[in-house]
A and B are shown apart, each in its own frame.
Chain A
Amino acid sequence: MAAATTHPTPGEARSAGTRPRGGARGVLGRMADKYLLIVYSALAVIYLLLPVFVIILFSFNNPPGRSNFLWSGFTLKYWLNPLGVAGLGDAVLLSLEIALISTIISTILGTLVAIALERYRFRGRAGVNALVFLPMATPEIIMGASLLTLFVAIGAAPFFPLNFATILIAHVMFNISYVVVTVRARLAGFPRHLEEAAADLYANEWETFRRVTFPLILPGVVAGALLAFSLSIDDFVITNFSAGKTQTFPMFIYAKAKIGIPVQVNVIGTSIFLIAVGAVLVTTLASRRSNKR
């Protein structure tokens, strides 16, 4: 094989041994080896990030009218006055409140459900197992419609008006499923002998959970919570059915879409994106540092 190549350097001889090549095809092949993956990856990343980039870019746009679709000059004025549209501030605040509270409730409940399902064999376990998956499997529109029916059926206004509470109930309901699934995945591979070791070292059930079990499933709990938060803050379909007269941030955008979305929405959107990226960076760095130690 080495004799067939024009310049049989040791390196070439070796690679020639593993993959025969010659002439122009070889050069092209080598080029492809080197650049195809890079090009392909770059295209994929661009495809994923282009919409985000447009949102960020248009948060600096200075449109003459109400619609924010054409680039018409750079300005910082919307960044300096991000809540300067009637109702926007309230909507953002409401969305944040609901996302935060529903995340806390569903993370606690979901973690407990996950532990129960993973650790104990009890009557009705199979049923609970199926029910947990239901909110994920059911189309949102159906879930929203049936929730509305339920809310109306059980509490005719004014005892049970559709408002903050009903949105919260709806969000906790679908969030729990995602928390259960993520925490269970973490619990499935949990080394049980660590809990025995803790018990052996005088830790009762609660201390064992606090000192050993919980710290070790924490990554799963955090992942579940983040998932719940992001699902909650941008949910539109279910929220729309259970909101009544209250308006969340996604609902605000939807309402404004008919008459032109204000630039401030891009500002808020960009901010949320940056906060999310920042959070990911911080956790990555933190885990890298703790691994290094």
Chain B
Amino acid sequence: MARKYGLLALAVVILSIYLFPVYWMYITALKTGTEIFANPPTFWPRDPQVQIVEVWTRLRMDVYLRNSLLIAGGVTLIVALLGTGCAYVLARIRNRWMDGVLFGVLMMQVLPSSLMITPIFVAFNQMGLLEYPRLSVVLAQAAKVMPLYIVLVRATFLQVPRELEEAALVDGNSRIGAFTSIIVPLARNGILVTSVLIFLQSFGEYVYSRSLISERALQPATVGLQSFMGPNSSDWAGVMTYSAIYVTPILIVFVLLQRQIVSGLTSGALK
């Protein structure tokens, strides 16, 4: 028994060391401008200050976060609408063609954004899409994350028993009817968790937004944060408060859905 609690204590220590940067972000966000540069640094703020409102208005976080939400929402919508059906078919039918499609999807999953952005920028520019910079980012990012969505949701569909679907067809449902009223509801959890994952990833998207959106009022929170972190910036309290406001909702969603996210990820990456 003592051994178990010893191990637990050790585990907490390892985790604390690992998560120290996150702790440091929150602590710095609570410090005053002078305390930040105190030597030795304080590991607990002497005079905690909540600067959320001040940073929120000074750094125009409402604009940036709204853009991030719009982009992430658009991406998730496109991906869920187009990807779910594809994931389902890839889970149900195995033949040479579908194997080929699956292989292609897996290949497209690995294309790095930073390398794809050059042709995307030029092509979007020629098509006139850059007139709508946020839409451009949504379209590009949806293509980036759709393969991951398909792979993860396909793993969920694999677990839905084929018999249920066959029973529905025997009962006179059409394929579309069976798909929308039986299969998708049964795979609901997997679809939701994967959509959350896609949303969170797109909420923190940077490369496409940085390269495709030049107008400040349309940029998302990552690009905004980057622009405040110039080489000579010393407003670390501001930057860390900004970061804390930005990631706290992400971390809350993550802790709530931790178990589902972990199992969803592992089933998709290895199958």
A and B, one complex? no
Residues of B within 8 A of A (CB): none
Residues of chain A at the chain B interface (Cβ within 8 Å): none
